[in-house]
Chain A
């Protein structure tokens, strides 16, 4: 089972460049999320999509945009990368089933902005 697939796994950007992080899940989940992980900060929610066609801001949305392309895919875009966006980015998906909302994670994208 593929689960949640993120691409790319590693990326180096120059300040001001743009890029899109791709995420796809094959579990037919309605909800998808983008987190960033920084040392000492844990996981912080950037954006989420409760269902196809909806997106909402999380805790740290500034500098990012998202697109829920279809039920499977949820992309994260950096329009003008800044060094403060150097981080590990994780995509996750989940489905609410009678109280179980286990989140399934991708392997992460390690982004460095120089």
Chain B
């Protein structure tokens, strides 16, 4: 079946530091890949996505590249801010018996200090 593995947190950084959160996946077929962000007390919201190999998704300074050869979709940001503190979920969506079911990783908590 489909699965997503992402690095455990929490990840603690100082403001303006470089961020990488690793994500690898297992899936049949050709999944779409996503990063979602969850701020405290809220639901998940889409941060970025990529639908085919070598695509790069980007939003709010975050980037991730769909690497089919390494089955990875690592999230990066060059300079984090305190406001980026949140939980980040890597996810995939692919066909399963005619349905498209999102599968999520366990989430990585990011804490950014001033």
Residues of chain A having any CB pair with chain B under 8 Å:
4, 31, 33, 35, 40-43, 45, 48, 50, 56, 58, 90, 92, 94, 96, 99-108
Q: How far is the CA of A90 from the CA of B42 in the complex (A)?
A: 10
B42 and A101 contact, CB distance less than 8 A: no
Q: How large is the interface on B (under 10, 10 to 19, 20 to 34, 35 or more residues)?
A: 20 to 34
Any chain A CB within 8 A of the CB of B32? yes
Contacts known (A31-B99, A42-B104); A102 close to B89, Cβ less than 8 A: no
B46 and A41 contact, CB distance less than 8 A: no
A102 and B49 contact, CB distance less than 8 A: yes
Residue of A at shortest CB range from B91?
Answer: A103
B99 and A101 contact, CB distance less than 8 A: no
Q: How far is the CA of A15 from the CA of B8 in the complex (A)?
A: 33
> B103 contacts which chain A residues (CB < 8 A)?
45
Contacts known (A48-B99, A48-B101, A92-B102); A102 close to B34, Cβ less than 8 A: yes
Any chain A CB within 8 A of the CB of B106? yes
A100 and B44 contact, CB distance less than 8 A: no
Instruction: List residues of B (25-79) whose CB comes within 8 Å of A's CBs.
Output: 32, 34, 36, 42-46, 49, 51-52
Query: What 8 pairs between A and B have smallest CB-CB spacing?
Result: A42-B106, A105-B43, A50-B99, A101-B93, A99-B51, A43-B104, A105-B44, A101-B100
